[in-house]
Amino acid sequence: MAIAHEFEYFKPESVEGVIELLLKYKGKARLLAGGTDLVVRIKDDLEFPEAVIDIKGLTELGKLEFKNSRLFIGSLVTFNDLIDSKIVEGKFPLLWESSKTIASMGIRNRATIVGNICSAVPSLDSGPALLVYEANVVVKGSEGERVIPILDWFLGPRKTALNAYEFVYGITISLPEKRNGGSYVKLGRYNGEDLAQVGLGILALEGNEYRLAFCAVGPLPCRAKKIEALLNGKPLTDSLIEEAKNLVPEEISPITDVRATKEYRLHVAKIMFERGIKAAVERLNGKGPAYGKKLI
């Protein structure tokens, strides 16, 4: 299917150039990085931009670097860049593990993690990892730069804290100070293109601290605060897991759609929680399945 409507195309080479175009088109311009989401939406007549601003002219946005215990992921960094990075694999294994579950190699060669959080669909696989690592989103706009905590980023399906005259420059993640282990459990029907029916990211930190975030089971990816409150400060035992499992339905509000029913998602979310938290704690202790090994 071809694209039915027309738009202007620009490829600025500076931050100022991008902002100038955003101001000129007053919310009617769309930013293009990998295009794996935007082009589908334009084809499907879900978006009618007057202008498409290709940010691939800003080479600085391709930066992926670890400095002063902080990872910077520029807006042009693709999921395969993350997967191929030894720093990401070694220091932020939960981000690495969740990136490997996304679509296929050909999509991951183009799709960017910043594009993923800007599309902000409820099933986004990068959401749970960024939420538990408590990442920050660096945005630039006509008013200058601001840093938005990822916990305040998602406002609704396809709604974010970004305004029409801003664009995302990159994401930063500070290395957790405590030793940690993580797991991303994704329920999909098959590999290669499927969206998550349920996604759960867990970070277990030394000293019995736990962080959990779900995706695809509510309008936004979000932290599971009640479960965290129950678990925090306690060593993981079978009875604690059972108690926490009963809280899962209070944390999520899945719907029935083409991919799965509400009941199925609720049922499997509990099993995913049990397997995920065990794997995260085992990995914290240097045991357990290797990262990337499917847990469901």
Residues that bind another protein (CB under 8 A): 1-3, 5-9, 32, 35-36, 39-40, 42-43, 52, 54, 56, 80, 103-107, 109-110, 190-193
116 φ/ψ angles, rounded to the nearest 5 degrees: -60, -45
State the nearest-atom distance from the C-beta of 189 to another protein, in Å: 12
State the nearest-atom distance from the C-beta of 294 to another protein, in Å: 10
Which amino acid is located at 207 in the chain?
G
State the nearest-atom distance from the C-beta of 21 to another protein, in Å: 14
State the residue for tokens 């409507």.
5
Residue placing its CB nearer to another protein in the complex, 5 or 179 = 5
Among 242, 248, 178, 247, smallest CA distance to 210 is for 178
Residue placing its CB nearer to another protein in the complex, 192 or 219 = 192
State the nearest-atom distance from the C-beta of 278 to another protein, in Å: 23
Paired residues of 185 in beta bridges: 200
Q: Are 278 and 181 in contact (CB under 8 A)?
A: no
Among 286, 282, 114, smallest CA distance to 202 is for 282
Rounded to an integer, what distance in angstroms lies between the CA atom of residue 143 and that of residue 13? Answer: 19
Q: Are 75 and 140 in contact (CB under 8 A)?
A: no
Percentages (nearest 5) of helix, strand, coil residues in the chain: 35, 25, 40
Residue placing its CB nearer to another protein in the complex, 32 or 203 = 32
Residue placing its CB nearer to another protein in the complex, 30 or 223 = 30
State the nearest-atom distance from the C-beta of 158 to another protein, in Å: 17
Residue placing its CB nearer to another protein in the complex, 192 or 249 = 192
